[in-house]
Structure 1
Amino acid sequence: MNNKYKLSVICLAVLALTGCNDDDNTDTSGLESQIAELEASNAALNSANDTLTAENESLTADNSGLQAKAESYISNFSEQCAEAGVSFDYIDPNAPVSEENVTTQFMAKAADETDCMSCHTYEEPIKVPHTDYGASCAQCHDNPHVDVPPVDPGNPTDPTFPQPDKPDSLVDGKTGASGSFYYSPASYLNADYLASRLNGSIHNYEWAASTDEEPGVDTLAAACQLEGREHIKEMFPTDGKSYSLNAFSNQMGAKVIATVNKFIDDETNELVETPNVAIFGYGMKKEGDEYTVSMSIGKNNTCYNAVMNGDARLSYYEYDPMLSVKHERNQGARILGTLDYTKTSLKGFDWVTEVPGLGAGTSFTPEQVDWTKVGACSLVFKVEGIIPLG
């Protein structure tokens, strides 16, 4: 366009010089030749410009397509942040579970008189704040990823306790075992290894909708700067809403306790016994040469039966539905326990105050318990045996 403008100016200048003089015989062939060259050059530039414009549009379209394709391959939060210019590596929050001995850490904390697990096993409708348990509960919330000297708990299937003999009938009513041949490869018969699994947790991170207490962030740039960002794989929702990075932990497996209900039937006036099965959280630790299992629960059938009958059967079970091999898909163990009436503590309805004569350190008998004064139970069982899952 600049060439055209220059050409127009030249033409106007030529006309201005020659238009009023009919007798001017000036030779303009050289000028006409220059004009022709300029017109050809301008045409070539226009053509090249059209070509470059088309190529630029094509490259822009290709870049958009490649960007969309690249984004389609983004599968986790760290890649999402890298695309936004913030780079960091994903760190599996559960890696220390297999690298460190959780049992060592738990036992060190549980050496105090107050059982750490009691902070976490209360029932509704009673809601007991952690502060009611004092400073001991603060230990439950120490960073689970602290440096712990690695201690090998041993082979999971190496028995710590004598195993029941396989009876000819395949039924063992005394221990409840079905014979060691059932689920033997899948059973945590080693008490130290069982404790490491039973006391361990799976740590998870998720994007949670923001609340007044957790306002959260609404942009990817801000999300990529959050503390704990390296522990989540799920991509940040880019829907304009606010989300916070929520960290939480769950037990590795299910914990079941079985006791026996004993009552007098109203119609027959005879003693009736029925099984009672419940799910409660419990911990396991080693004390000297013995192992104990403890739990804090409200006054219920499990507590009543354990105190009145003096024993319980406990099951720890891990299940992975994605595995095809039976002994890899099902893992865990069963625990035979008798109640320790000295370490067990029965408490009032505030879940804190021990009922006089029924506190920890004071041995009592079932006949001494006035159940109208009991609101919660901190049960401690001596482990008498660990038998195969099944």
Structure 2
Amino acid sequence: MKNKFKLSVLCIAVLGLTACSDDDTDTSGLETQIKQLEEQNAELNTTNETLSSTNESLVADNASLVTQTDKLQEKAVSYISTFSAQCAEEGAIFDYIDPNAPAEETPQVATFASAMASEDCMSCHNYEGSDPANVPHGDYGVCSNCHESPHDETPPVDPGNPQEPTFPQPEGDDSKVDGKTGASGAFYYNAGSFLNADYLAQRLNGSIYNYEWKEVSDGSGAKTLKTACGLQNREYMADMFPADGKEYQLSAISNQMGAKLVSTVNKFTDDETAEEVETPNIAIFGYGMKLEDDGNYYVSMSIGKNNTCYNVINDGEARLSYYEYSPMLSAKFERNMGARILGTVDFTRTALKKSDWVTEVPGLGAGETFTPSDVDWTAVGACSLVIKVDGIIPLG
């Protein structure tokens, strides 16, 4: 029966014969073919199992590669830390331009400075009303009495060695202190001091330019990275676009490079003891310095009526300090730089003004020589001080 079954299957499925019968007795040839086919089928099953296993392994490897690729992509994106690199991912290719690079290396800086100066000066420095709180730049006042060269389009030229003194220097005697100039002991910071008046003026009047993202809501900015990458002056932006769904615009800002301190002496009568008392007074104001036609250097500042103004007028002098600090530098004399300025009031160039910061008090205006005893302080609201530079000595 087994042979008959095999014969029937073979006749139908393999040979397709139509003349098979139960009377056929020689089936050896067919059995051999069946055995061969069974062996081939087993081999095919083995091969199929091997291929299936290999395919499963390849699928697993592919999934692993996809995961690794995603991680590498995330890692690559995490390395993007600048706006220009961020835009490169969007296909917007441009190089970052440092707005504070030397003009001879980056001509585009002049364009930046020009953009910064595009607005009318009075819209920046003037104000309406008599409330000093309305002054956009605090104590700077109007343009004619403002700090020097905040809007110059042409960067200043390097005048040379900053340590080459313009004024005579105090004697450096370690055994003495100098109460007259304020220099004491060894001039430790001589190497970090701007003793050259032209060089000091360049640093003191200069600015650091920068762009920042400013959030807006009037439709003037960009909400997407693609739009941000097409904004004007995009090449000056270093910080990455926030890409948080809010609207931002490129905002140009400028800050002075160092801190400017004015030192004076407070003189008053103690209410309890009725004694005359003197205390030190130190304030931070923006001031500029320049060389005038008479060959002298002058420091000028516009400030409100305060202790500094009162003391400068009454004492007729002031000590000023200009200080630049770079915390990332290791060398002490590169990390700490600046100078101290010794000066006396020029009562002809100085002007005392009313509380509107514009109108000069009669008899106390620019071009009118006056003395401290001439001043009615109840009529004064602001001071445009001009101090003649008598000396520039080392920092600290």
**TM-score scaled by structure 2?**
0.74
Q: CA deviation at 1:242?
A: 2.2
For residue 80 of structure 1, the aligned residue among 79, 83, 86 is: 86
Q: CA deviation at 1:157?
A: 0.7
Matching of residues 339-350 of structure 1 within 5 Å: 339-350=345-356
Q: CA deviation at 1:58?
A: 6.3
For residue 291 of structure 1, the aligned residue among 297, 318, 323 is: 297
Give the whole-Å Cα distance in 1 for the aligned partners of 2:163 and 2:376.
43
1:263 corresponds to: 268
Give the whole-Å Cα distance in 2 for the aligned partners of 1:134 and 1:182.
38
Give the whole-Å Cα distance in 1 for the aligned partners of 2:104 and 2:386.
28
Q: CA deviation at 1:223?
A: 0.9
Q: Give CA deviations for 1:85-120 in whole Å, capped at 9, x if unaligned.
A: 1010011111137979x9xxx9xxxxxxx9999769
Q: CA deviation at 1:217?
A: 1.7
Matching of residues 137-148 of structure 1 within 5 Å: 142=151, 146-148=153-155
Query: SS state of the match for residue 126, structure 1?
Result: helix
For residue 133 of structure 2, the aligned residue among 88, 112, 126 is: 126
For residue 229 of structure 2, the aligned residue among 205, 224, 233 is: 224
1:328 corresponds to: 334
2:34 corresponds to: none
Pairs aligned (count) = 342
1:314 corresponds to: 320
For residue 238 of structure 1, the aligned residue among 240, 243, 250 is: 243
Query: SS state of the match for residue 317, structure 1?
Result: strand
Give the whole-Å Cα distance in 1 for the aligned partners of 2:131 and 2:73.
52
Q: CA deviation at 1:211?
A: 4.1
What is the percent sequence identity of the aligned residues? Answer: 63
1:178 corresponds to: 184
Instruction: Say if 1:115 and 1:259 are closer, same or farther in 2 by CA, change over 3 A.
Output: farther
Give the whole-Å Cα distance in 1 for the aligned partners of 2:302 and 2:291.
18
Matched, 1:278 2:283: yes
Instruction: Say if 1:374 and 1:98 are closer, same or farther in 2 by CA, change over 3 A.
Output: farther
Q: CA deviation at 1:177?
A: 1.1
Give the whole-Å Cα distance in 2 for the aligned partners of 1:207 and 1:75.
15
TM-align CA RMSD: 4.0
Q: 1:265–1:271: 8 Å Cα contact kept in structure 2?
A: yes
Which sections of structure 1, spanning at least 5 residues, go unmatched?
1-17, 24-39, 107-113
Give the whole-Å Cα distance in 2 for the aligned partners of 1:364 and 1:349.
19
For residue 391 of structure 2, the aligned residue among 382, 385, 388 is: 385
- One-letter code of the match for 1:237? P
Instruction: Say if 1:134 and 1:235 are closer, same or farther in 2 by CA, change over 3 A.
Output: closer
Give the whole-Å Cα distance in 2 for the aligned partners of 1:167 and 1:58.
75
Matching of residues 19-58 of structure 1 within 5 Å: 54=59
Q: CA deviation at 1:229?
A: 1.5
Query: SS state of the match for residue 305, structure 1?
Result: helix
Q: 2:350–2:386: 8 Å Cα contact kept in structure 1?
A: yes
- One-letter code of the match for 1:127? N
Query: SS state of the match for residue 227, structure 2?
Result: helix
Q: CA deviation at 1:208?
A: 2.6
Q: 2:357–2:382: 8 Å Cα contact kept in structure 1?
A: yes
Q: 1:355–1:374: 8 Å Cα contact kept in structure 2?
A: yes
Which sections of structure 2, spanning at least 5 residues, go unmatched?
1-15, 20-43, 114-120
